[in-house]
Amino acid sequence: MSVSDKWLNKVKWDEHGLVPVIAQEAGTGQVLMFAWMNREALSRTVEFGEAVYWSRSRKKLWHKGEESGHIQKVHEIRLDCDEDVVLLTIEQVGGIACHTGRHSCFFQQFSGDHQKGEWIAVDPVLKDPASIYKK
């Protein structure tokens, strides 16, 4: 470990070497997405000034916007009081954070009660995902 890695050691990584990350829009404060980072992803995020996450499904680093062009420019990085959650304050370039083509991944709102509840999509699709991502 080098002296330059000391800041990374303050983070309480889980048993898989990951930490949960919340991406919050600068200016509005809206939570746009939730993802995971490993040490390398957090280090690269600081280095590039753009969000880099760890994709658990693909098991590789994922530079947000690498396919879609919808990168996240990082304004601020915070660590919570338990040192086990990272908060990124970001500018969402292109306005789309979600792979569904919506501004936020949190577009489904609960409606009803515990017996007759349902999730309703309350935010519009801004761009068809088929036109965003290469297949």
DSSP 109: E
> What b/e sequence results for 100-122 when a residue is b if at least 16 CB atoms lie within 10 Å of its CB, and e otherwise?
bbbbbbbbeeeeeeeeeeeeeee
1 — pLDDT class (breaks 50, 70, 90): very low
Describe the chain by its helix, strand, coil percentages, rounded to 5.
20, 35, 50
Mean pLDDT of 113-134: 91
Residue 132 is assigned to a structural domain of this protein: no
Examine the pLDDT at 3 and tell me if it is beyond 70: no
Examine the pLDDT at 132 and tell me if it is beyond 60: yes
Domain count, the chain: 1
Examine the pLDDT at 135 and tell me if it is beyond 60: no
Residue 131 is assigned to a structural domain of this protein: no
Residue 54 is assigned to a structural domain of this protein: yes
Mean pLDDT of 24-40: 97
2 — pLDDT class (breaks 50, 70, 90): low
The pTM of the full predicted model, rounded to 2 decimals, is 0.91
pLDDT at residue 134 in the model: 66
Examine the pLDDT at 58 and tell me if it is beyond 70: yes
pLDDT at residue 133 in the model: 78
9, with CB counted inside 10 A (0-12, 13-18, 19+), is exposed
* Sign of the CA dihedral with 18 first, then 88, 102, and 62 last: negative
CATH number at residue 20: 3.10.20.810
Tokens of 31: 């939570």
Residue 128 is assigned to a structural domain of this protein: no
Identify whether the C-beta of residue 36 lies closer than 8 Å to the C-beta of residue 11.
Answer: no
Full domain range(s) for residue 93: 3-123
Mean pLDDT of 59-86: 96
Residue 134 is assigned to a structural domain of this protein: no
Helices assigned H by DSSP within 29-94:
39-48
Residue 92 is assigned to a structural domain of this protein: yes
